[in-house]
Structure 1
Amino acid sequence: MTDHRPDPDALLERVLSEAAREHRGALKIFFGYAAGVGKTFSMLQAAHRAAAAGREVVVGYIEPHGRPETQALLEGLEALPTRPVPYRGVTLQEFDLDAALARRPGLILVDELAHSNAEGSRHAKRWQDVEELLGAGVDVWTTLNVQHIDSLNDVIGRITGVAVRETVPDRVFDRADDLELVDVSPEELVERLNAGKIYIPDQARRALGSFFQKSNLVALREFSLRQAARRVHTDVESARRQRSVAEPWATSDRLLVCVGPSPTTTRVIRTARRMAAALDAPWVAVSVERAGATDSPAVKDRIAEHFRLAERLGAEVVTLPGEGVASALLDYARTRNVTKILIGKTDQPRWRRLVFGTIVDELLDRSGDVDVYVIRGEGDPPRPAGPPRPAEAIDRVVYLKAGAILAAGGLVAAAFDRFGLREVNVVMALLAAVAIVAARHGRGPAIVASVVAVLGFDFLVVPPRYSLAVTDAQYVITFLVMLAIALLISTLTARLKVQVENGKAREFRLSALYELGRQLSSLSGAVFLSAAAGRKIAELTGGEVVIYLGDPGEPTEIAYGRMTGVALHPVSEPAARWVIEHDRIAGAGTDTLPNAAALFVPLTGSQRTVGAIAVRTEPAARMLEPEQRRSLESCAGQLALALERDRMSIAASEAMIQARAEQVRNALLSSVSHDLRTPLAAIAGASGSLLRGDADDEPTRRQLLETIADEASRLTRLLENILQMSRLELGAAAANKQWNILEEIVGSALGRVRRELRDHQVEVRMPPDLPLVLVDGLLLEQLFLNLLENAARYTPPGSTITITAARDGAWLTISVADDGPGLPPGSEERIFEKFYRASSSSDVGRGSGLGLAICRAVASVHGGTITASNRPAGGVEFLLRLPFPADPPKVELE
């Protein structure tokens, strides 16, 4: 029997998707292939139907284009006022995002999804405004033409000959909850254009001669129909998975696109995006960092720009180290189960391909089962003539130093030749100089040194000497071999130097991340964690760092870098709040808040976003490089987890404190309830007997009165213990130390518990010459009172209680011992805890569990200690040690 149970992973994915969509607004796109097909008209008609059905509909922004039919449909719908923006002497009317968020309607209409906002707006693109509305839970209807989809932009541009600058990322189009295709035939669209229903007559004539040619319209219509069909197919597959009609569909295809500095890479990336979308396959953009290669800043900037395009189109980006591009790509492809590799091919001369080979040829030869797609593109653009830029200018000092090293090698070689050493030794001296130049100054000076070394050998050694002429043709082979060896040595040495430098850079980043993790794991407190992370990130990036903390929907605070230029910039605080709210990177170099002073990265923890990091470097684009960005995101992730851990630790501590407080309250009630009920019951019974006249004779009445007095005294001592414990724990009870006679304190305590000790024998052994003690008499009396009462309660009648005192150097040692049953093993320390009672017998006669805790607190206030231990002969001994002053005052005894 076939198991048709749904896949748990698919169910979990569906649950998570529904949970994420629950608080997000729904996006509906009215989709067409050109202006004038009726997208805005259809959207307004649907809006009127929705309003008639009782739905709250608000017009956020509609571009009427001077069309009276569209303008007429706006009547009867609530419209938000536009936001005037002055721009180059004119006033533009833009969509007011803040007004829409404040109004927060059920459904809002926002025309022209691909529109670019005016400078000074919060977002550079209108689709970003729509994203924020959706995140706020507002449903949005909008319009879009097929040529504005990012991955189709270059293909449509080649077909129509018109480059469209305003694009929308494919992920925005793919995440739309509903897509309505608005379609008319090209012939009908041309008729509308001729009738003046789309543009004014002059614009219509120009459009018919360029963009609105029938061939262009047919191609655009096919693109729109294909996109709509792909979307319908995706919806069908999603519905099948939700209903668990069949097994979850998963493709085995995975695409890899090779990213390089060539302009062709842009076309390759967009082609890979379209192929991945058609196959519904994941794809990854890979750049190979060759060992020994020293890429210029311009090359690095172009690669970083291509990576940003790939990320925007939904690719995973990876930078690989490797000796060769083809081998690194194939190794990675086989590791990640890649089935298709896409690479660009630029025009090159035939002789260059034959002599040096190409990466494309090597991939085709070694690809095996992996399919390789070669995308033809343009060659590199010609470099403008003129003087080199400062970054590319030749460093003359480096070449002078290389010349000095080579000159020193030439002197050594000349000395070898003068002393009659063989020519091979002279060659070795020159090759050593070339290797030193390569190791110290890189590949360029090393190549020049290789050529100069060969010429120097010819000039100094080969006859005729001191001339570049050669009489023996055999030396030509020597020159060629020497030049080849010198170039090989210089290339390998320079490559090794670059590898060492790259390794040092990676080691520095890894060490910084490790050190940051180690510091964060040993610290607590948001301020200390932020300070440690801020210093380490500033060291890693070499720029200004500001750390903002705050939860989504709450004000932010600066935890690090308060007085930096980034923190003082007026846009920084709103940018940080936006990044925290939306959990996305924004700021300088990005499409969101590009006017910000820094790049803002969210601190995303395992549960929510807890803050943002702002980093400003020179140049600002350096932080958008893949390596720097990954390092910054890794640091942000570690800090976010550390902050989350700290919050959870604080929450756990607060919960523990509350639990302990509840435990103490329950223990206090359960422990004190019996001790309160017993004296109160005795007092109530004795007083009731007196009131009823049950005691006829004087001795009985006196006995009842003594019972009332004793139980009242017992109740008073219990309440005093509770209050005294509270004062000691809060630190409100400071020791009022004065000189006292220890015998008087002990005697006063014995007098207060005489009733409890009436069935026990008490022995007091103190030396007659014991000096005065510097203590708080009332607190020490309370200590003895609790110890004696505890001994009377837990020892049988007839047992003996012994109190001894002696001076032990700088300490006064006082012992209170009994010969009772003793303590249970292992409870010698626990008996000093609040509400702990060692006896396991019935509750009759047991105390509240506060007396010994008060004893330890009193001893601590005096700077002393108290311990308990079982005596070898039976019973318990409480040993109190108090500091003893060196020169106590002496009192004459009577």
Structure 2
Amino acid sequence: MQLKPKPQHYLQWLGATLAAVLTTVGLAVTSARATTAGMVFLVVVVVTATQAGLVISLYSALLCAVSFDYFFLPPIHTFILAGPQEWVSMMTFAVGSLVAGRVAERARKQKQQAEQRREDVERLYLLSQEMILHEDADGLIRDLPALVAKIFHLESVVLYMQDRDQFVSTIAELSELFKANLRETTGGAHVALANQDGYEAHALMVGMRAVGAIAWRPPNLSKEVATAVSAQVGIALTRATAIEANARMEASREGERLRAALIDSLTHELRTPLTSIRAAATTLTQAEGLDDESRMELATIVDEESARLDALIGEAVEMAQLDANVLKVQPEPRHTRTLLDHAVEESHTALGRHQVTLMVQEPDRLAWFDAKLLSRVFRHLIENAALYSPPESRIVLRSRRVSGRLEFEVEDSGPGIDKVDIPHIFKKFYRGKKGAKLGKGTGMGLAIARAIMLAHGGDITVETNPESGCTFRFWVPLVEKQIDEK
């Protein structure tokens, strides 16, 4: 395929011609001497060489030499040189033009090379920064071909990952022959050319091991830049793969830690009600000497501890469902007062003799939310409030609309939460110092509440005061629709 000359190339030839013509006219009008004319023509040749290159500077030197001979060397207006002095002047001008043109051309090329090296360094730096932003191997592999093509202005880029036998390309179709050639490239660090497709391919080497290959078209990158690109890509892919593997290992270790914590917590919490149930049941089986009041008391112990055991198992199952992402939000139009009334009724056993106050902002228009999920959040928060607050103390439930949110609060009169515990209070199995000291709770309730709120598109926070207790505030996006309340 023949390349068409660029318009800029024509302009350079035209500029050299005009420069020689205008210089000749200017010197002729000013009646310049031969010595002056020769120096001026030499300057024109040097300037042309620095701007347009050696070939055009030679063309300019030829035009200037013809003009110099015809208009300024005797005899004037002829191409005949009168004597030795004129021959010396012409030869001096010709040699000076050639030497000056070569020097100027060399300086121009050195400048271009310096600029090219600077651009290459900037592009390599940009490539490294963009690759560092990817910490997952899949994302880096997916985006890398387009990234290299964009930064280095390439027509197409193909990436081959050896361990996955995976090809990722900026074009849709790759020939089987090209794929085979790219696979062979991973056998060493040498350049492989898939001539039938016009690609240049390099192995991605990390140390002495090849992790894949990369190819691009057209093959217009310098050897140094191509080597640097393949080295950076290989290192970045290895780094992302290592980070991903480390994250999987860390997640596995965290999962093991959480499972161990769950087993320890459940073992401890389940053992207490089981011990009470077993003791009461054993006493009941040995019924001799027990009056009706004692039997009723033991039966009550079995009933209460069974309920506690059921609640513990329910929390464990609930946490497992949240971890498995099987929770589905099903919003329905509800009044917030109905939600609060239901939450109090559902938690009446845990509330005991606590005084419960409901504060609902009016008008209490219908809003869309999952009442079942929010009831579970209220249940956990109300049970915690009743558990840690003094008997017969006040517990306040609030609802209001604030800045596009449907906001709820549960306020208790307990001992509050230590500031060091607040950043961790919603983590699974975390129990604050005061809760652990009292031996209450499993460390799952608040984690469950937050997971439910996040699934609902909201969140939960806590404010604490040692003198007035805690206020848990949670919210969901406010969605109101006109509904026939017939």
Q: TM-score range by the shorter chain?
A: 0.7 to 0.9
1:465 to 54, 76, 79: 76
1:568 to 156, 175, 179: 175
1:847 is the counterpart of 2:444: no
Q: Which amino acid aligns with 1:427?
A: G
- Match of residue 765 from structure 1: 358
Distance across 1 between alignment mates of 2:12 and 2:417 = 87
Residues 557, 486 of structure 1: alpha-carbon distance in 2 compared, 3 angstrom cutoff: same
Residues 527, 606 of structure 1: alpha-carbon distance in 2 compared, 3 angstrom cutoff: farther
Distance across 2 between alignment mates of 1:655 and 1:682 = 41
Residues 505, 697 of structure 1: alpha-carbon distance in 2 compared, 3 angstrom cutoff: same
2:166 to 553, 557, 570: 557
Q: Which amino acid aligns with 1:646?
A: A
Contact 1:438 1:494 in 2 (8 A): yes
Superposition pairs for residues 39-50 of structure 1, below 5 Å?
none
- Match of residue 313 from structure 2: 719
Residues 456, 766 of structure 1: alpha-carbon distance in 2 compared, 3 angstrom cutoff: closer
1:604 to 187, 205, 214: 205
Residues 815, 408 of structure 1: alpha-carbon distance in 2 compared, 3 angstrom cutoff: closer
Q: How far apart are residue 648 of structure 1 and its match?
A: 0.6
2:188 to 559, 572, 583: 583
Higher helix share: 2
Contact 1:770 1:806 in 2 (8 A): no
- Match of residue 119 from structure 1: none
Residues 477, 783 of structure 1: alpha-carbon distance in 2 compared, 3 angstrom cutoff: same
Q: How far apart are residue 649 of structure 1 and its match?
A: 1.4
Q: How far apart are residue 811 of structure 1 and its match?
A: 4.4
Distance across 2 between alignment mates of 1:404 and 1:776 = 78
Deviations 1:188-246 (A, max 9, x none): xxxxxxxxxxxxxxxxxxxxxxxxxxxxxxxxxxxxxxxxxxxxxxxxxxxxxxxxxxx
Deviations 1:764-796 (A, max 9, x none): 133596636544333333222211221232234
Residues 843, 607 of structure 1: alpha-carbon distance in 2 compared, 3 angstrom cutoff: farther
Distance across 1 between alignment mates of 2:124 and 2:265 = 54
Contact 2:350 2:383 in 1 (8 A): yes
1:613 is the counterpart of 2:210: no
Distance across 2 between alignment mates of 1:422 and 1:720 = 109
Residues 456, 751 of structure 1: alpha-carbon distance in 2 compared, 3 angstrom cutoff: closer
Q: How far apart are residue 507 of structure 1 and its match?
A: 4.0
1:786 to 346, 370, 380: 380
Distance across 2 between alignment mates of 1:538 and 1:750 = 61
- Match of residue 389 from structure 2: 795
Q: Which amino acid aligns with 2:166?
A: E
Distance across 2 between alignment mates of 1:540 and 1:800 = 69
Contact 1:810 1:886 in 2 (8 A): no
Contact 2:201 2:215 in 1 (8 A): yes
- The share of aligned pairs that are identical, in percent, is 23
Q: Which amino acid aligns with 1:674?
A: H
Distance across 1 between alignment mates of 2:249 and 2:312 = 30
User: Does the residue aligned with 1:832 lie in a helix, a strand or coil?
Assistant: coil
Distance across 1 between alignment mates of 2:207 and 2:325 = 41
Q: How far apart are residue 466 of structure 1 and its match?
A: 1.4
Distance across 2 between alignment mates of 1:546 and 1:845 = 61
Q: Which amino acid aligns with 1:771?
A: D
Contact 1:414 1:426 in 2 (8 A): no
- Match of residue 46 from structure 2: 435
Distance across 2 between alignment mates of 1:495 and 1:519 = 36
Between 1:600-609 and 1:532-541, the stretch displaced more is 532-541
Distance across 2 between alignment mates of 1:538 and 1:815 = 52
Q: How far apart are residue 534 of structure 1 and its match?
A: 6.6
Contact 1:409 1:432 in 2 (8 A): no
Superposition pairs for residues 381-460 of structure 1, below 5 Å?
405-406=16-17, 409-410=20-21, 412-447=23-58, 449-450=60-61, 453-460=64-71
Residues 614, 797 of structure 1: alpha-carbon distance in 2 compared, 3 angstrom cutoff: same
Residues 440, 770 of structure 1: alpha-carbon distance in 2 compared, 3 angstrom cutoff: closer
Q: Which amino acid aligns with 1:655?
A: M
Contact 2:189 2:205 in 1 (8 A): no
Distance across 1 between alignment mates of 2:66 and 2:334 = 106
Q: How far apart are residue 686 of structure 1 and its match?
A: 1.9
Residues 652, 607 of structure 1: alpha-carbon distance in 2 compared, 3 angstrom cutoff: farther
Contact 1:543 1:616 in 2 (8 A): yes
Q: Any gaps of 5 or more consecutive residues in structure 1?
A: 1-389, 392-397
1:698 is the counterpart of 2:292: yes
Distance across 2 between alignment mates of 1:745 and 1:568 = 64
Residues 399, 454 of structure 1: alpha-carbon distance in 2 compared, 3 angstrom cutoff: farther
User: Does the residue aligned with 1:866 lie in a helix, a strand or coil?
Assistant: strand
Residues 675, 754 of structure 1: alpha-carbon distance in 2 compared, 3 angstrom cutoff: farther
State how many pairs are aligned. 479
Contact 2:337 2:360 in 1 (8 A): no
Deviations 1:103-156 (A, max 9, x none): xxxxxxxxxxxxxxxxxxxxxxxxxxxxxxxxxxxxxxxxxxxxxxxxxxxxxx
Contact 1:585 1:599 in 2 (8 A): no
Contact 2:261 2:429 in 1 (8 A): yes
Contact 2:70 2:78 in 1 (8 A): yes
Distance across 2 between alignment mates of 1:864 and 1:596 = 54
1:827 is the counterpart of 2:421: yes
User: Does the residue aligned with 2:160 lie in a helix, a strand or coil?
Assistant: strand
- Match of residue 117 from structure 2: 506
Contact 2:192 2:200 in 1 (8 A): yes
User: Does the residue aligned with 1:766 lie in a helix, a strand or coil?
Assistant: strand
Distance across 2 between alignment mates of 1:464 and 1:787 = 112
1:641 is the counterpart of 2:235: yes
Residues 745, 713 of structure 1: alpha-carbon distance in 2 compared, 3 angstrom cutoff: farther
Superposition pairs for residues 525-544 of structure 1, below 5 Å?
525-526=137-138, 528-529=140-141, 531-533=143-145, 536=148
Q: Which amino acid aligns with 2:188?
A: D
Distance across 1 between alignment mates of 2:13 and 2:399 = 90
Distance across 2 between alignment mates of 1:805 and 1:616 = 63
Superposition pairs for residues 676-755 of structure 1, below 5 Å?
676-693=270-287, 696-740=290-334, 742-743=336-337, 745-755=339-349
Q: How far apart are residue 863 of structure 1 and its match?
A: 3.8
Contact 1:832 1:856 in 2 (8 A): yes
Q: How far apart are residue 670 of structure 1 and its match?
A: 1.6
- Match of residue 412 from structure 2: 818
Q: How far apart are residue 831 of structure 1 and its match?
A: 1.2
Q: Which amino acid aligns with 1:443?
A: L
Contact 2:361 2:401 in 1 (8 A): no
Distance across 1 between alignment mates of 2:229 and 2:110 = 25
Contact 1:835 1:850 in 2 (8 A): yes
Contact 2:355 2:395 in 1 (8 A): yes
Contact 1:546 1:558 in 2 (8 A): yes
| Alignment RMSD | 4.0
TM-score by length of 1: 0.47
Distance across 1 between alignment mates of 2:405 and 2:18 = 85
Distance across 2 between alignment mates of 1:813 and 1:399 = 73
Residues 721, 607 of structure 1: alpha-carbon distance in 2 compared, 3 angstrom cutoff: farther
Residues 762, 770 of structure 1: alpha-carbon distance in 2 compared, 3 angstrom cutoff: farther
Distance across 2 between alignment mates of 1:401 and 1:817 = 82
Q: How far apart are residue 671 of structure 1 and its match?
A: 1.6
Distance across 2 between alignment mates of 1:764 and 1:817 = 10
Contact 2:127 2:147 in 1 (8 A): no
Q: Which amino acid aligns with 2:45?
A: V
Q: How far apart are residue 505 of structure 1 and its match?
A: 4.2
Distance across 2 between alignment mates of 1:768 and 1:445 = 86
